[in-house]
C-alpha cells in the first residue's frame, strides 16, 4: 500500500485560514443545544469508561433511514467509510472508474490499494451528468469498482433519476460494485430521499453528519450496503476500532431524531445564498452562469468564460490570498482547471453579499495584468 500526497488537502491545510473564506464545503456548525445537549450529562454518560451494554446508534439511524439494521454500518465519518469500502474491494491490478471532475481523495484511495484509475467525464455541457453509454464502454473484466458522488462534488448537481436507475442496471448487468459518496445529498431536500444503495445490491453508499448537518467535528458517518458486505465490515471492525467511540455515538443518538429539523436549517442557509450567487453570475465579466439544473447545494463550481478559461487557478487563488486575504478552491484540484469552487454554507446572506465584491476585485486585478 503506497499512499500518495492528496494535493488538495495539503493545499487546503497550508493555505488557510484567511479572513475571507469561501472554500469551506460544510454547512455552518450547530450549537449542541440545537440537538438537546446543554451539558455532558445530557448525553447520558456516567463516565468515560467502556460500557459493554451501551446500545449504540445504529438501530436508531436505521429506523430514521428506513433501512434494515443489517444493511447499515456506522463509521467515523464519510472519508473513513470510503477508505473501508476501497480496502475491502480493491486489489492490485484492478481497474477503478472514477468520475471527473472529482474530489481528489476518491481517486487517490483506489490508487493507494494498487488499482489503475480511469476517469469518466461529467461535463458542464452535459449538466455534470455521467455519460452512461460511455461509462458502459469503459467496463472490462478488470473493472472492480465505479466511484461517483451524488450530489456531485464539486458542482452540487444531482444525478437525474434516469441515470440513477441506469447506474443500478449497469452495476447488475456487469456485476461490478458502485461506490456513491452521498455526503452532500441531504443538503437539498428537507424530506430525505433514499440513496442509491436501494437500487441494486451492487451499489454501496456512504454518508455522514459532516457536510449537510453542521456536525463536522463529530466525525460520524455510515455505509449503506447489502447485508453480506456489511457483515464483512463488522468482521474487519475487530482489526481496527474494535468498538466505535461511544461519546460521538451518544451525541449522534441525540441528533438522529432531529435530522429533518437539521435539514430544514441547512436549506434555510443555502437557499438565499444560492439566489445571491446566481444573481452575481448573471452577466459576470469572467465567469459563466451555473447549469440550470444546479440545486442549492453546499458548493457551486462556476466555469470561466472561454477567453479566461486557460487561467492557472492555483496561481489565481494565490493572488487572491495575497492581495485580498480571500480564498476559493482552485478547479485544478478537481481535474477542472477552468473552474473555481465556492462554499455557500458558512456565511449569512449579508456576509455573502459583502464577500462577492472582494472576489470580483481580486479577479479584476488578476486579469487586468494578464
Q: The CATH number of the domain where 20 resides is what?
A: 3.90.1150.10
Q: Which three cell numbers stand for residue 158?
A: 444531482
**Residue 40 within any structural domain of the chain:** no
Identify the three-state secondary structure at position 270. helix
pLDDT of residue 155: 97
Closest alpha carbon to 203 in 166, 224, 178, 229: 178
pLDDT of residue 293: 84
Q: Which residue segment(s) compose the domain that 85 sits in?
A: 49-256
Closest alpha carbon to 110 in 150, 83, 81, 139: 83
Specify the pTM: 0.95
**Residue 35 within any structural domain of the chain:** no
pLDDT of residue 54: 65
Question: By the 8 A CB rule, do 43 and 247 touch?
Answer: yes
| Statement: residue 161 has pLDDT above 90 | yes
pLDDT of residue 22: 97
Q: Are residues 237 and 346 in the same domain?
A: no
- Residue, of 84 and 50, whose pLDDT is higher: 84
| Statement: residue 231 has pLDDT above 70 | yes
| Overall number of domains in the chain | 2
Q: Are residues 285 and 208 in the same domain?
A: no
> Among 232, 256, 280, which residue terminates a domain?
256
Identify the three-state secondary structure at position 234. helix
Q: Are residues 174 and 302 in the same domain?
A: no
Question: Rounded to an integer, what distance in angstroms lies between the CA atom of residue 183 and that of residue 30?
Answer: 17
Can you give the length of the chain in residues?
Answer: 370
Residue 45 pLDDT grade (very low, low, confident, very high; cuts 50, 70, 90): low
pLDDT digit string, tens, across residues 51-92 = 665 668 999 999 999 999 999 999 999 999 999 999 999 999
**What is the chain's mean pLDDT, rounded?**
93
The DSSP 8-state label assigned to residue 303 in this structure reads: B
> Among 206, 229, 256, which residue terminates a domain?
256
- Residue, of 211 and 247, whose pLDDT is higher: 211
Identify the three-state secondary structure at position 189. coil
Q: Are residues 156 and 63 in the same domain?
A: yes
Q: Are residues 251 and 311 in the same domain?
A: no
| Statement: residue 344 has pLDDT above 70 | yes
pLDDT digit string, tens, across residues 259-271 = 999 999 999 999 9
Q: Are residues 134 and 281 in the same domain?
A: no
Q: How far from 228 is each of 73, 169, 231, CA to CA, in Å?
A: 12, 20, 5
> Among 256, 286, 312, which residue terminates a domain?
256
Percent of the chain with pLDDT over 70: 97
| Statement: residue 103 has pLDDT above 70 | yes
Percent of the chain with pLDDT over 90: 85
Residue 190 pLDDT grade (very low, low, confident, very high; cuts 50, 70, 90): confident
Identify the three-state secondary structure at position 340. strand
Q: What is the CATH number of the domain that holds 202?
A: 3.40.640.10
Q: Are residues 124 and 87 in the same domain?
A: yes
Q: Are residues 202 and 218 in the same domain?
A: yes
Sign of CA dihedral 257, 181, 270, 13: positive
Q: Are residues 224 and 146 in the same domain?
A: yes
| Statement: residue 46 has pLDDT above 90 | no
Question: Rounded to an integer, what distance in angstroms lies between the CA atom of residue 128 and that of residue 106?
Answer: 17
pLDDT of residue 240: 84
DSSP string, 78-141: HHHHHHHHHHHH--TT-EEEEEES--HHHHHHHHHTTPEEEEEE--TTTTT---HHHHHHH--T
Residue 290 pLDDT grade (very low, low, confident, very high; cuts 50, 70, 90): very high
**Residue 164 within any structural domain of the chain:** yes
Stretch 102-129: mean pLDDT, rounded?
Answer: 97
Peptide bond into 62 cis (omega under 30): no
Amino acid at each position: 500500500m503506497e499512499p500518495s500526497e492528496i494535493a488538495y488537502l495539503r493545499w487546503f491545510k497550508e493555505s488557510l485560514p484567511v479572513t475571507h473564506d469561501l472554500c469551506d464545503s460544510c454547512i455552518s456548525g450547530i450549537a449542541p443545544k440545537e440537538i438537546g445537549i446543554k451539558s455532558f450529562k445530557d448525553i447520558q454518560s456516567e463516565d468515560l469508561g467502556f460500557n459493554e451494554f451501551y446500545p449504540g446508534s445504529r438501530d436508531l439511524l436505521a429506523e430514521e433511514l428506513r433501512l434494515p439494521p443489517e444493511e447499515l454500518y456506522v463509521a467515523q465519518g464519510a472519508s473513513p467509510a470510503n477508505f473501508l469500502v476501497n480496502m475491502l474491494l480493491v486489489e492490485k491490478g484492478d481497474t477503478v472508474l472514477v468520475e471527473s471532475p472529482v474530489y481528489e481523495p476518491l481517486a487517490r484511495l483506489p490508487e493507494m490499494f494498487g488499482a489503475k484509475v480511469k476517469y469518466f467525464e461529467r461535463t458542464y455541457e452535459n449538466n455534470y451528468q455521467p455519460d452512461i453509454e460511455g461509462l458502459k464502454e469503459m467496463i472490462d473484466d478488470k473493472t472492480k469498482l465505479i466511484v461517483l458522488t451524488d450530489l456531485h462534488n464539486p458542482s452540487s448537481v444531482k444525478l437525474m433519476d434516469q441515470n440513477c436507475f441506469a447506474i443500478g442496471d449497469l452495476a447488475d448487468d456487469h456485476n461490478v460494485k458502485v461506490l456513491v459518496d452521498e455526503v452532500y445529498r441531504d443538503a437539498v431536500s428537507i424530506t430525505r430521499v433514499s440513496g442509491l444503495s436501494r437500487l441494486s445490491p451492487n451499489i454501496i453508499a456512504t454518508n455522514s453528519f459532516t457536510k449537510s448537518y453542521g456536525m463536522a467535528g463529530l466525525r460520524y458517518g455510515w455505509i449503506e450496503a447489502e447485508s453480506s458486505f456489511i457483515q464483512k465490515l463488522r468482521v474487519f471492525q475487530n482489526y481496527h476500532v474494535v468498538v466505535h467511540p461511544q461519546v460521538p455515538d451518544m451525541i449522534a443518538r441525540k441528533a438522529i431524531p432531529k435530522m429533518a429539523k437539521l435539514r430544514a436549517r441547512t436549506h434555510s442557509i443555502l437557499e438565499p445564498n444560492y439566489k445571491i450567487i446566481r444573481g452575481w453570475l448573471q452577466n459576470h465579466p469572467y465567469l459563466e452562469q451555473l447549469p440550470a439544473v444546479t440545486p442549492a447545494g453546499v458548493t457551486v463550481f462556476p466555469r470561466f468564460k472561454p477567453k479566461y478559461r486557460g487561467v492557472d487557478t492555483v496561481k489565481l487563488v494565490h493572488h487572491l490570498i495575497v492581495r485580498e486575504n480571500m480564498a476559493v478552491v482552485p478547479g485544478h484540484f478537481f481535474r477542472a482547471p477552468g473552474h473555481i469552487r465556492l462554499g455557500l454554507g458558512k456565511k449569512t446572506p449579508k456576509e455573502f453579499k459583502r464577500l462577492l465584491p472582494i472576489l470580483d476585485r481580486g479577479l479584476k486585478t488578476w486579469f487586468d495584468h494578464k
